[in-house]
Amino acid sequence: MSVNLTLLIVMGVLYACGIYLILERSLTRVLLGLMLLANATNLLILATGGYAGLAPLFSKSTDPRDYNDPLPQALILTSIVISFAVTAFMLGIIYRTWALARQDDIQDDAEDRRVAKTPSFDAEDDSVVPEETSEFPVTAVTEAAKEGGPL
Amino acid sequence: MITVLAVTFAAATVAPWIFRKLQRNAFYVLAAVPAAAFVWLLLQYDRVYPGKGGNPTGGFIEENLPWIPNLKLDFAFRMDVLAWVMSLLVLGVGSLVLVYCARYFKNKDANLGGFGAQLLAFAGAMFGLVTADDLLMMFIFWELTTVLSYLLIGYARTRLAARRSALQALMVTTAGGLAMLVGLIILGQAAGTYRISAIMTQAAALITGPAQSAVAAAVVLILVGAITKSALVPFHFWLPGAMAAPTPVSAYLHAAAMVKAGIYIVARLAPGFSESPYWLPLVLGLGLATMLVGGYRALRQTDIKLILAYGTVSQLGFLMMVVGLGRPDAALAGLALLLAHGLFKASLFLVVGIIDHQSGTRDIRKLSGVYKSSRALAIVAGIAAASMAGIPPLAGFVAKESVLETFVHYGTGHSGAGAAPEPWGLVLLGGLVLGSILTFAYSARFMWGAFATKQGVDRTPFKAVQPSFLAAPAILSFLTIVYGLWPDPVDGWIQPYAALFAAPDAGTSASSASHLALWHGLTPALGLTALTFAAGVVMFHARNLVSRAQSRVPDWVDGDRAYQRTVGALDDVAVWVTGRTQRGSLYFYLAVILTVAFAVPLTALIVANKPLPGGVFLIDPNSPLQLIAAAGIVVGALAAVRANKRFLAVLMVSVTGYGIALMFALQGAPDLALTQMLVETIILVAFVLAMRSLPPELRDRTGGKYRVVRVIIGVAFAVTMIFVAIYAMGARIAEPVSLSFPRLAYEGGGGLNVVNVTLVDIRAWDTFGEISVLAVAATGVASLIFVRSRGERLDKAATIPEGTVGRRAAAGGSSRDDASLALVRKFAGSLTDPWLVAGRTLAPERRSIIFEVVTRLIFHSMIVFSVYLLLAGHNLPGGGFAGGLTAGLALTIRYLAGGRFELREAAPISAGMLLGTGLATAAAAGFVPLLLGGQVFQSAIIEFWLPLFGDIKFVTSTIFDIGVYLVVIGLALDVLRSLGAEIDEHFEETSSADAADQGDIGSAAPIASPATTGGSAATAPGKGIP
């Protein structure tokens, strides 16, 4: 099995840049980072096909080993188009965020912050319960007696 | 048994409807269900007790219904002697409690239907629990009782006390239940079967066998479950807390159900596992402690219900000791006591319910003169309380006598020849006597507190008690007397169970085995009973002294507070952990995830320390030109990171994309190169369209110290990936599966382009999944922008007035901008040639004659080319993806040149329609072969002759490709309509609103129509015409 370092090094650079970008608050950069990561992954899949070869267009006289491996190619083709769809979706999100909040930033989740500050006292668990010595408070009993209802 | 269960649960399901019809009288209907089951149970007597000739340990009835055979889980039920006695209690008391409920509750009480259903289901679950013959089946019923008790205790859901007690009971018993589940599984695995009857036959082998330590642990875990369920120290606190339940529920819970489940499991396992090493210390130690703590606490309570509740705690400890002792006489005494307790405790609780119901209080400091108000009630209660205190000739006396006798024998060892006295036996006996004294004292205190006329307290108003209300406790008290006077039948019921135990002294013959009887003669046990009574009477008379002494002693066992602290501490820990991990920062999450993602494989690589595989080349010998593409990609990626202008960054990412297209081409992948080029181009346009309103600067907002972390994570991840890839590829030993693809593609798929045939035929399922994702994503884009609809409405171009789209209002001033605007409009006036259908709708300053002419020239060619790509793709580079993207590009050009109405004219079919049709076509290509007798996505080759075209070889997978083609066009169209056309409209709305508001055009929000920027969309978005 042959390993083409050129592809892998380019892949590495794309991964490094992509990850640098997605660890960022700007949504646009996160999207660009994702695109770089997608490209890097495509290269990784491509590299599994081994060395460059003939385009996989069948001809009876060619040994199957002379083609560039068609299976990774099919996978990459799928990946390219899916990346397009994901990118378009993210663009929709970026536009929407901007239209609503005039922001291109990933905000911290305020709810998570609130949870972290939850006090340890919880009324349901910790408040003092008045002692109850009857299921039938006197008022209810006397009322029932007045109405002459069934006992 | 299965029928009984099924009917019970079915009745519980329909209970709410019965209640809607009959209101509280529906309880009578529900009571009929366990009553009928009770009758059924009595009819089974002959089969369970086959008589003298049969097995000394009694007969049994078995029912099995397969459930999940793979897990060996069956609906396995077995009615043996123990189950029969327990069922007697469960069904009998259950039925009486339901009868009682019909008078206890009022018609107007809320949620009565649900309550009745839960109570009945509770009885059913208890019945299932005692009859289940499968450990897991039993556990299911066990947890059912837990859940149902939670609902029942929390019946008054508006009261905090009820909710909290219910939750507490649930937490404590579930915690024990989970421990028990682990124990059950260990036991089941060790025994090789989950069938309880089978496990019991090999119990002796298990506790001495090779897995003996595992079995001992399992037994301890199961006992933990029993201890929590039966409210033994240190988990006793939940039971008094559960007093927040309606009193009938308490009666059932305490007397016959729930807490008796723990006793039952001990009784069930005792014949085989009481020899297990930790069994006796746990059962006897905790049992005795519980008996004393419960009795001590009961003497302090002022609420008669709480006196009873702590009394139950005490009695449960008592029961646990006796049942768990693991000797035949103890087994006899234990079950006798269980029945006696069930009778008197249920009766007492029901009496308390009546007192509360009629007087409105349970406080002994307020109750006075109740005896005078209702003698019948007092007599019923008196019998039950006397039985609890162990006064002859009642059930409690008979049972307690036999318990004392057992422990006298256990402690002194003189029941037979050669039995050595147990060292702790006398301590236990002393504890038992002390516990019995306490029991006598709190029984007396209960009667005094509930019924006596107290000095200085006004006589409590008390309504007359209806006989129907009193019936249930009266029946129970009556049975208490019968049982006491005539204990022989009970003795007969229990003897076979006692016979399961090996007698400790081999010399004991059947004749000298113990029996239940009212009069045993002058035995030491009788002496102890007399002592108990004497001390109890003294204690009751000195009750003021006792309570003063008690108030001086601090509470050393306060399980309730410990529970609250534990739960509070758990909450705090949870908040702390959540606060540290769930910070709400995406950056933090990603950093953690990515760090793990590189650290783990990297560590594995370093630890494995393998040499690099062979065959690593820096430069591909077949394609050295790749180095150039590589350099371009690297430069593009680094520039994208450093770019501080939005569109510059986008362009740089595009550079890497195009570079990768080149890389694909050099690698021998023309399809990929083509698709990548097309996608990059469309993405570029989409970026410009979507981001034209965002500010051009792109600031790095996660700077400073974070930047270093980001660089480290990025580089480390990249290096890890490179090495992982090298090792992974070097580890390959098998022939690639794709070596056979070319032949498969040609012979099976009928195409020369292996990649395309792979997509539409060999791996068609993958592609089908993918186009589904595309359809979803397209819909997502549309809904993000259109928000309320999928946005299928757009008027025809003909209805739009000329030159209105994207028009800039003229400013009144004399700036150069205005002058150029006027000039443009003058020239545009003559631009009437209809190069495009909707070109005229654009404002003159938006139009570009060159662009319109070029569009006119190339649009149709591109569409034809896209169809060519689609159809030729089977044999040459191309296919549905490339074709669809080309068509999408053609539409993009139309839109850029002529605006949104031009797009509408170019693609009169809606995007949703295209996506749907495409998916349907692809799906049809999948299932039609099925109808024709083939397999999903099987393709066929059809050859025919057409005039003009000549011989045609048509492969049916092309139909699938057409579906792909349509979906991709739909996606492109959705992107254009959403990110292009709809955002145009947003702009026009806001800018016209701004203009109207301010009348100041110069500072209005930048109006951008793609038409103006089309030619240089990437670099000069939203600037308008210079």
CB-CB under 8 Å, A82 with B669: no
CA distance B168 to A135: 20
Q: Is B1006 an interface residue toward A (CB < 8 Å)?
A: no
B342, two tokens: 């069930």
Chain A partners within 8 Å of B467 (Cβ): none
The span from the CA of B520 to the CA of B514, in Å, is: 10
Count of pairs with CB atoms under 8 A, one residue in A, one in B: 407
ipTM of predicted assembly, 2 dp: 0.85
Residue with tokens 């006390």: B161
Question: CA of A55 to nearest chain B CA: how many angstroms apart?
Answer: 4
Q: Cis before residue B613, ω within 30 degrees of 0?
A: no
**Residue contact B640–A36, C-beta within 8 A:** yes
pLDDT band for position B867 (cuts 50, 70, 90): very high
pLDDT band at A37 (very low <50, low <70, confident <90, very high): very high
Average pLDDT, chain A: 83
Q: How confident is the model at residue B1021 (pLDDT cuts 50, 70, 90)?
A: very low
Which is nearest to B247 in space by CA: B337, B308, B174?
B308
What one-character-per-residue DSSP string does chain A give? --EEHHHHHHHHHHHHHHHHHHSSSBHHHHHHHHHHHHHHHHHHHHHTT-S--B-SB--TTS-GGGBPPHHHHHHHHHHHHHHHHHHHHHHHHHHHHHHHHS--B----HHHHHHHT--S--HHHHSPPPP---SS-HHHHHHHHHHT---
pLDDT in tens, B943-975: 888 887 777 788 888 899 999 999 999 999 999
CA–CA dist B273, B269 (Å, integer): 6
How far is the C-alpha of B298 from the C-alpha of B308, rounded, in Å? Answer: 7
Nearest in space to B42 (alpha carbons), one of B77, B88, B94: B88
Cα–Cα separations (whole angstroms), residue B385 to B202, B260, B311, B351, B962: 42, 20, 11, 11, 87
Question: Could you say which residues from 72 to 101 on chain A have a Cβ atom under 8 Å away from some Cβ of chain B?
Answer: 72-74, 76-78, 80-89, 91-96, 98-99
Nearest to B702 among A23, A70, A132 (CB): A23
In-domain check, residue A147: no
Q: Do A70 and B594 touch (CB under 8 A)?
A: no
Handedness of CA B835, B836, B837, B838 (dihedral sign): negative
For residue B876, which residues of chain A lie inside 8 Å, CB to CB? 57
State residue B713's pLDDT score. 94
The H or E element that residue A4 is part of is strand A3-4
Answer whether residue A130 is part of any domain: no
Q: Is the pLDDT at A15 greater than 90, yes or no?
A: yes
Instruction: Choose the weakest-confidence range: B136-140, B365-369, B675-679, B824-828.
Output: B824-828
In a domain, A90, yes or no: yes
Of the ranges A136-140, B330-334, B410-414, B951-955, which one carries the lowest mean pLDDT score? A136-140
CB contact under 8 A, B777 and A3: no
Task: Give B 494-533 residues with CB within 8 A of chain A.
Answer: none
Cβ proximity of B896 and B1014 under 8 Å? yes
B203, amino acid identity: A
pLDDT reading at B67 higher than 90: no
- Identify the residue among A26, A31, A75, A81 best suited for mutation to test binding to B, counting B beta carbons within 10 A and taking the highest: A81
Cα-based distances in Å from A148 to A143, A151, B107 = 8, 8, 14
Percent of chain B with pLDDT over 70: 91
CA distance B420 to B422: 6
Question: Per-residue pLDDT tens for B166-214?
Answer: 999 999 999 999 999 999 999 999 998 899 999 999 888 888 888 889 9
Best residue in B25, B653, B787 for a mutation probing chain A (most A CBs within 10 Å):
B653
**Residue B361: exposure state from Cβ atoms within 10 A (0-12, 13-18, ≥19):** buried
Identity of the residue in A40, A68, A125 whose CB atom sits nearest the CB atom of B667 = A68
Interface residue of A11, A32, A109 to substitute, partner B, most B CBs within 10 Å: A32
Q: State how many domains chain A has.
A: 1
Q: Does residue A3 belong to the interface with chain B, where contact is any CB pair within 8 Å?
A: yes
CB contact under 8 A, A5 and B617: yes
Taking a contact as any Cβ pair under 8 Å apart, which residues of chain B between 745 and 764 contact chain A?
745-746, 751-755, 758-759, 762-763
Q: Is B249 in contact with B155 (CB distance < 8 Å)? A: yes
For residue range A78-106, list pLDDT tens digits in order. Answer: 999 999 999 999 999 999 888 888 888 88
- B435-465 pLDDT, tens digit per residue, is 999 999 999 999 999 999 888 888 888 888 8
Range B705-733 average pLDDT: 89
- SS3 sequence of B513-528: CCCCCCCCCCCHHHHH
Q: How confident is the model at residue B1011 (pLDDT cuts 50, 70, 90)?
A: very low
Residue at A14 is within a domain: yes
B138 touches chain A (CB under 8 A): no
Q: Identify the CATH number of the domain in which residue A79 sits.
A: 1.10.287.3510
> Does B584 contact A22 at a Cβ distance shorter than 8 Å?
no
Is A91 within a domain?
yes
Residue A67, SS3 per DSSP: strand
> A47 and B725 in contact (C-beta within 8 Å)?
yes
Kindly state whether B591 is in contact with chain A, defined as any CB-CB distance less than 8 angstroms. Answer: yes
**Chain A contact set for B710 (CB, 8 A):** 19-20, 23-24
Cα(B532)–Cα(B554) distance, integer angstroms: 26
Mean pLDDT, all residues of chain B: 86
Mean pLDDT of the B687-706 span: 79
- pLDDT, residue B744, reads 87
Expressed as residue numbers, the domain containing A12 is 5-55+68-111
Asked whether residue A38 is assigned to any structural domain, the reply reads: yes
Nearest to B840 by CA among B891, B905, B908: B905
Shortest alpha-carbon distance between residue A31 and chain B (Å): 10
DSSP state of B946: E
Contact of B593 with chain A, judged by CB distance below 8 Å, is answered with: no
Three-state DSSP state, A37: helix
Alpha-carbon distance values, B798 to B839, B853, B946 (Å): 11, 20, 41
* A112 reaches B (C-beta below 8 A): yes
Residues of A in contact with B357 (CB under 8 A): 135-136, 151
Contacts of B699 in chain A (CB under 8 A): 26
CB count in 10 Å sphere of residue B626: 22
Q: How confident is the model at residue B825 (pLDDT cuts 50, 70, 90)?
A: low
Contact B303 A133 (CB under 8 A): yes
CB distance B470 to B380 below 8 Å = yes
Residue bearing the bigger pLDDT, A63 or B685: B685
Closest CA of chain A from B305, distance in Å: 8
Alpha helix segments (H runs only) across B274-374: 279-298, 304-324, 328-359, 370-373
| Distances in whole angstroms, Cα of residue B134 to Cα of each of B4, B187, B223, B357, B479 | 18, 12, 17, 42, 33
Give contacts of A116 with chain B, Cβ < 8 Å: 575, 578-580, 582-583
Q: What is the pLDDT of residue B831?
A: 52
Query: Do the Cβ atoms of B741 and A4 come within 8 Å?
Result: no
Per residue in B236-280, pLDDT (tens digit) is 889 988 888 999 999 999 888 889 999 999 999 999 898 888 999
* Separation between Cα atoms, residue B389 and residue B439, nearest integer Å: 6
- Is pLDDT at B89 greater than 90 in this prediction? yes
Give residue B997's pLDDT: 66
CA B373 – CA A113 distance, rounded (Å): 62
Nearest partner of B310 among B427, B431, B428, B443, judged by Cα: B443
Chain A interface test: which of B576, B755, B761, B989 (most A C-beta within 10 Å):
B755
Tokens describing residue B570 = 């758990």
**Inside any domain, residue A133:** no
Q: Closest Cα partner for B614 from B725, B727, B734, B735?
A: B727
Section B766-774 average pLDDT:
93
B919: CB partners within 8 A, 6+ apart? B771, B772, B775, B963, B967
Per mean pLDDT, which range of A72-76, B90-94, B513-517, B983-987 is the poorest? B513-517
Q: Is A38 on the interface with B (CB under 8 A)?
A: no
Neighboring chain B residues of A9 at a CB cutoff of 8 Å? 630, 722
Q: What is the pLDDT of residues B569-603, one digit of tens each?
A: 888 888 888 888 888 888 889 999 999 999 999 99
Strand partners, B79: B61
Residue B842: strand pairing partners: B805
Tokens coding B123: 């009885």
Kindly state the tokens that stand for B496. 């076979």
Query: What is the pLDDT at residue A145?
Result: 53
Lowest pLDDT segment from B210-224, B379-393, B798-812, B972-986: B798-812
- Kind and range of the H or E element at B589? helix B586-608
Contact B713 A23 (CB under 8 A): yes
Closest Cα in chain B to A92? B781
DSSP3 helix / strand / coil % (chain A, rounded to 5) = 65, 5, 30
B819 pLDDT band (50/70/90 cuts)?
confident
* Residue B909 burial (CB count, 10 A): 12
Q: pTM of the predicted model, to two decimals?
A: 0.71
Q: Does A128 reside within a domain?
A: no
Question: Dihedral sign, CA of B20, B26, B31, B34?
Answer: negative
With H, G, I as helix, E, B as strand and everything else as coil, classify residue B169: helix
Instruction: Confirm if B597 and B717 have CB atoms less than 8 A apart.
Output: yes
Using an 8 Å Cβ cutoff, are B484 and B398 in contact?
yes
Which 3 state secondary structure label does DSSP give B28?
A: helix
Longest alpha-carbon distance in chain B: 131
Least confident of B311-320, B422-431, B793-802: B793-802
Cβ within 8 Å, pair B667-A20: no
Residue B419: is its pLDDT beyond 70? no
Q: How far apart are CA B499 and CA B964, in angstroms?
A: 77
b vs e for B297-330, b when ≥16 Cβ sit within 10 Å of the residue's Cβ? bbbbbbbbbbbbbbbbbbbbbbbbbbbbbbbbbb
Contact B336, B402 (CB under 8 A): yes
| pLDDT value of position B508 | 45
| CA–CA dist A46, A50 (Å, integer) | 8
Nearest CB to A126: which of B568, B669, B758? B568
At B794-807, the pLDDT tens digits run 667 667 777 777 76
CB B694 to CB A94 under 8 A?
yes
A63 touches B: beta carbon within 8 Å: no
